[in-house]
Structure formats: C-alpha cells, structure tokens
C-alpha cells in the first residue's frame, strides 16, 4: 500500500458523515430559498411591518446579549476560577434554560415580571414594563440564551493559565488590572463566540417571547402569525428574508472571531 493511502477509508467515513449532516442542514433552507418567488421577496422587503419586525428582533437580541455580557462575564470568571459552596448548583441553574420548554420559561418570567406580580408592579411604577414591550422581548431572549454565553466564557477563562494572572500580579498589576490586561484579552475569542451564539439563539426565540410580549411582533412571531392567518405562501418570504440577513451577519461575525495566523 502506498503511504498516502494509509488512513483513506477512515477519512472517507468522516467525509461521508460530515457531508450528510451539512446536507441535512442546508437542503431545507435552500429548498425554502429557491422555492420563494424573488418578486415576493422584494415586495416583502418593501413592507414596513416585516422590516421593522426583523430589526426589532436583531436589536432586542443584541441588547439582551450586551446586558448578559456585563453580568455573565463575572459569573463565568467566578465559575472558572473559584470554588464556592453550591457551585455545581449554580452551574446547573445556568444550564437549565437550555433544557426547559421555552413556553414554560416564558410563563415563569410572566409570574415574576407580569403586571400582577410585586416585581412587575414595582418596576412598572418606575416606568419599566416587561409585558408587551421591547424590554420584555430582550428579557425573554436573555433568559433562554444566557447559557451559551456563560458556558463559552467560562471555558474561555478556563483556557487561560492562572499562572499568567499571578505573574501579572507580581509585576505590579492589581487583581482588576490582571483581569483586564491578561485574562479578558486572552479569553475574548471564546467570549465573542459565546456572545454570537447567544445573540443567534435570542433571534430565533419564539416560545418565551410570545408569552411575555406578543406585541411588538418579532420576526419569529410574525412568521407564525402569517402562517396561521394566511398560510405558507405569505409566511415564507419573511422567513427567507430573516434567514438571509442572519446568514450574512453570522458569517461575518464568525470570520471575526476566528483566530488569525500570525506572520
């Protein structure tokens, strides 16, 4: 056997498995895109309701991600670096939103932030309402997608050798300076990757959002509503448009988060 043939069957199996999976993901999307009349797509783009709902979706998920970056990075760092009583419970709680049905998550949020609850009333008195508002959409998106960010950031910090932080301290850095000059810059790629995943998951959220804020209508709810009211023909162009916009944005972000080869 010639040397380059060694391992060929192994690689072939892996290629076949990968190809099958990629096809499984791509074909339904391609089918949907190709079966949509370009004319219908253009006229959908001209609809104010559609475009504003897509932008509302992107925007709410974006703010949810930013808010969770501020709160999630400290939690991720603590989970990576310290041992404390109840750590596994906290870790389990962080993972929980991935597992529970998102409609259930929406109901749980409604119980706390709804107009009838104490928190909802208090915040409402301060002018901050989470039911039927953009803030509510962001809250529902954040609740169900936070595990993606926290877990990625925690893994990112775990990948930073604690010795580097210690050396920074001996070189005169306070714990805060060591964090901002060493740990965070070394973990930013996994954190960015987690933030992208969180944003993406937020955009796609339907169950929790519909319970907390049916209006203003996000794209997933608009698609569902059009499908219910007018059928597939009217729902499809909105779906295709959302897919195309997300595809461009996420390809770009993934490219940004990829490690570059140094000269």
Chain positions contacting other proteins, by CB under 8 A:
161, 163-164, 166-174, 177, 181-182, 185-186, 262
Residue 166 CB, nearest approach to other proteins (Å): 5
Alpha carbon distance 159, 161 (integer Å): 6
Residue 33 CB, nearest approach to other proteins (Å): 40
Residue 175 CB, nearest approach to other proteins (Å): 8
Token readout for 153 is 């950031």
Which CB sits closer to other proteins, 64 or 178?
Answer: 178
Which CB sits closer to other proteins, 165 or 205?
Answer: 165
Which CB sits closer to other proteins, 38 or 185?
Answer: 185
Which CB sits closer to other proteins, 43 or 177?
Answer: 177
Residue 196 CB, nearest approach to other proteins (Å): 20
Radius of gyration of the chain (CA): 22
| Residues in contact with 202: Cβ distance below 8 Å, sequence separation at least 6, in sequence order | 60, 61, 64, 65, 138, 141, 142, 144, 145
Cis bond before residue 232 (omega within 30° of 0): no
Taking residue 159's Cβ as centre, other Cβ atoms within 10 Å add up to: 12
* Side-chain-side CA neighbours of residue 83 (13 Å): 0
Which CB sits closer to other proteins, 16 or 167?
Answer: 167
Residue 154 CB, nearest approach to other proteins (Å): 19
Contacts 24+ apart (CB under 8 A), 237-240: 237/36, 237/37, 237/40, 237/41, 237/43, 237/44, 238/44, 238/50, 238/53, 238/54, 239/32, 240/32, 240/33, 240/36, 240/41
Q: How many residues does the chain have?
A: 263
Which CB sits closer to other proteins, 57 or 183?
Answer: 183
Residue 174 CB, nearest approach to other proteins (Å): 6
The DSSP code for 179 is I
The per-residue DSSP string of 201-238 comes to HHHH--HHHHHH-SSSPPHHHHHHHHHHHH-HHHHHHH
The DSSP code for 5 is G
Residue 177 CB, nearest approach to other proteins (Å): 6
Which CB sits closer to other proteins, 103 or 174?
Answer: 174
């Amino acid at each position: 056997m010639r040397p380059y043939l060694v391992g060929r069957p192994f690689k072939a199996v892996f290629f076949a498995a990968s190809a099958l999976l990629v096809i499984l993901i791509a074909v339904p999307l391609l089918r949907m895109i190709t079966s949509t009349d370009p004319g219908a797509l253009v006229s959908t783009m001209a609809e104010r309701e559609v475009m504003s709902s897509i932008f509302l979706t992107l925007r709410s998920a974006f703010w949810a991600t930013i808010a969770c970056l501020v709160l999630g990075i400290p939690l991720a760092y603590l989970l990576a670096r310290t041992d404390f009583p109840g750590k596994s419970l906290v870790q389990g709680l962080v993972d929980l939103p991935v597992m529970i049905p998102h409609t259930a998550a929406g109901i749980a949020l409604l119980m706390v932030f709804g107009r009838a609850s104490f928190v909802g009333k208090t915040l409402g008195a301060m002018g901050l309402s989470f039911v039927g508002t953009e803030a509510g959409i962001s809250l529902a998106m954040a609740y169900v997608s936070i595990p993606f960010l926290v877990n990625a950031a925690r893994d990112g910090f775990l990948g930073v050798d604690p010795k580097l932080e210690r050396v920074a301290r001996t070189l005169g850095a306070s714990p805060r300076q060591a964090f901002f000059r060493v740990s965070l810059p070394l973990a930013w790629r996994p954190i960015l990757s987690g933030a992208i995943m969180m944003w993406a998951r937020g955009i796609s959220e339907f169950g929790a959002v519909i319970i907390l804020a049916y209006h203003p209508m996000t794209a997933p709810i608009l698609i569902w509503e059009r499908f219910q009211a007018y059928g597939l023909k009217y729902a499809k162009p909105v779906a295709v448009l959302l897919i195309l916009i997300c595809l461009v944005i996420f390809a770009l972000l993934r490219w940004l988060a990829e490690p570059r080869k140094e000269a």
